Amino acid sequence: MTPPSTDINQQEILSNLSYLLREDKVDFVRNILADLHAADIADLVEQMPPEERDQIFSILDPEIAGEVLAEMEDPPREDVLEEMDSSKIAELVNEMDSDDATDVIDAVREFSADKAREVLGQVEDEVSEDIHELMHYAEDTAGGIMAKEYVAVNVNWFVEEAIKEVRDKSDEVEELYQVYVVDDFGRLVGFVPLRDLFLARPHMPIKQIMNTDVYAIDSDMDQEKVARIFEKYNLVSAPVVNKSGQLIGRITIDDILDVINEETDEDLARIAGIGEEEILEDSVLRIVQARLPWLLISFFGEIGSAMIMQSFDATLDQILASAFFIPLIMAMGGSIGQQASIIIVRGLGTGEIDPKDLGRRLSRESKAALLNGLVIGALVFAIVAFWLNDLAFGLVLSTSLIIVVMNASLFGSMIPFGLRKINVDPAIASGPFVATFNDVVGLLLYFSLLSVAFKYQLLA
């Protein structure tokens, strides 16, 4: 037994495949691909030049080719779909699970609604019905990630009829862990774990062995909430129901892993001010397009800082040393603001922090910021006293630092809660927008304090 290697040498295989494709040695290529999992082939295809991709998809058996297409990531997949004829796409879509098939049609529609319609016109009727149904659901809801492949048995059946249904559906439903139980109106009433079904006596009624504590997911539930339910209750699959409680689909744990990864990508993109699908993006222009708006927010904010400082130019001119500590003020405010906001963004995301916890969190964060502020305030006072030999300036600076830090912690903790309340992604609070805001407010506080101290002749 040779377990599939997890460290396949991509570069070596790619150059071998490239050579063999150029020499038209199709059988050799087929042999190499036969030993690989669809996910590994997808990784390879993502790295290939367009003409080789086309060749690979024409060499692969349609079932495997469909899996490869399902496993590919965007944007490389979009490029593949743009190059492929609609009849070839339809051939692969026929072989895919309904959720993956719908994703492919959605991806095609992104660049050409006509081509998407063409593909749908060419797939099998049953497949196109499923896709049409799944396309109705918003992408980020339970309906948007569920598939139509599942096994349902009637609550009035016996075990042996249910086992026959499992057998009949075994080609269509690949990963089966549970059989769902429905009433005569198709409403979900329970489930039977596969093992319990098989270990039960054939003449036993399903009613007697089913478990009625079933986690039914509403089709319009937000996908992140679905992910939280899977995580919390350690589920590997869950049935999806419509408003009338009728079983309409199934979500499996692999969909949930995708949701979790998407969510992390999204959070990190917000924090850094970048695009969400950037990792595999090859177009520098598209990268710039995603990042520039965030940079500009920060740019104009800091031009605001410059204007504030100009309005304090007399103070700045008199106490030139005040400029030396601008970076310190900004960095401390920025760091403490981000410490508070990231922990709250993450907690709100995982559900470990409840939107109602604002007060408790504010108090926790302010206390932590105050303690940290006192430590760095004392340090900077000591440093200024020794280095610049100016106790009064040291005092104003350390006071400013403590106020700036408290203020940043306040904004950093409150803004995620506020954004959540108005249904905006709280992760924005850890990004450039709030950081810039903190810079502007921090500098305004610092220079105001300085100029007041100067006015009352507290500073030399």
DSSP one-letter string for 47-93: HS-HHHHHHHHHHS-HHHHHHHHHHPPTTHHHHHHHHS-HHHHHHHH
C-alpha span between 346 and 426 (Å, rounded): 9
d(CA 433, CA 358): 21
**Binding residue (CB under 8 A) for its own copies from 26, 34, 138, 295:** 295
Which of 17-25, 58-66, 127-135, 427-435 is the region at the interface with its own copies (rule: CB under 8 A)?
Answer: 427-435
Q: Please tell me whether residue 252 adopts helix, strand or coil conformation.
A: strand
193 DSSP β-pair partners: 178
Query: Binding marks (x or -) toward its own copies, 59..98, rule CB under 8 A?
Result: --------------x-------------------------
Q: Judged by CB under 8 A, does residue 458 bind its own copies?
A: no
Residue window 91-130: x/- pattern of binding to its own copies, with contact defined by CB under 8 A: ----------------------------------------
Between 66 and 273, CB nearer to its own copies: 273
- Map the footprint of its own copies across residues 367-426, applying CB under 8 A: 367-368, 371-372, 375-376, 379-380, 383
For 21, 92, 104, the CA distances from 54, given in Å and listed in that order, are: 11, 13, 17
The answer to the question of residue 279 lying near its own copies (CB under 8 A) is: yes
Residue 449 near its own copies by CB under 8 A? no
Residue 25 CA to residue 45 CA, distance in Å, equals 18
- Classify 123 as helix, strand or coil: coil
Write down the residue that tokens 């049609």 correspond to: 105
Q: Which is nearer to its own copies, 121 or 293 (CB)?
A: 293
Residue 163 Cβ vs its own copies, minimum distance, rounded to whole Å: 8
Q: Is residue 260 a contact residue for its own copies (CB under 8 A)?
A: yes
Q: Is 49 in the site for its own copies (CB under 8 A)?
A: no
The stretch among 48-56, 87-95, 108-116, 334-342 that binds its own copies (CB under 8 A) is: 334-342
Binding status of residue 19 toward its own copies by CB under 8 A: no
Told to check if 354 binds its own copies by CB under 8 A, we report: yes
Please report whether residue 326 would count as binding its own copies according to CB under 8 A. Answer: yes
Q: What is the CB-side half-sphere exposure of residue 321 using CA atoms within 13 A?
A: 16
Q: Which is nearer to its own copies, 111 or 324 (CB)?
A: 324
Evaluate whether 431 touches 272 at the Cβ level (below 8 Å). Answer: yes
- Give the start-end residues of each E strand in 242-401: 247-252
Check binding of 14 to its own copies (CB under 8 A): no
Interface of this chain with its own copies, residues 23 to 42, rule: CB under 8 A? 37, 39-40
Contact between 327 and its own copies by CB under 8 A: the answer reads yes
3-state secondary structure of 299: helix
Q: How far is the CB of 453 from its own copies (least distance, A)?
A: 18
- Interacting residues with its own copies between 167 and 226 (CB under 8 A): 167, 170, 175-177, 188-190, 194-195, 198-199, 212-216, 225
C-alpha 247 chain-centroid distance:
27
Site string for its own copies, 123-162 (x = CB under 8 A): ----------------------------------------
Q: Between 86 and 446, name the residue whose CB sits nearer to its own copies.
A: 446
The answer for residues whose C-beta is within 8 angstroms of residue 43's C-beta and 6 or more apart is: 10
The count of C-alpha atoms lying within 13 angstroms of the C-alpha of 389, restricted to the half-sphere facing its C-beta, is 0
Say if residue 122 is exposed, middle or buried (CB neighbours under 10 Å; 0-12, 13-18, 19+).
middle
Count of residues in contact with its own copies, rule CB under 8 A: 120
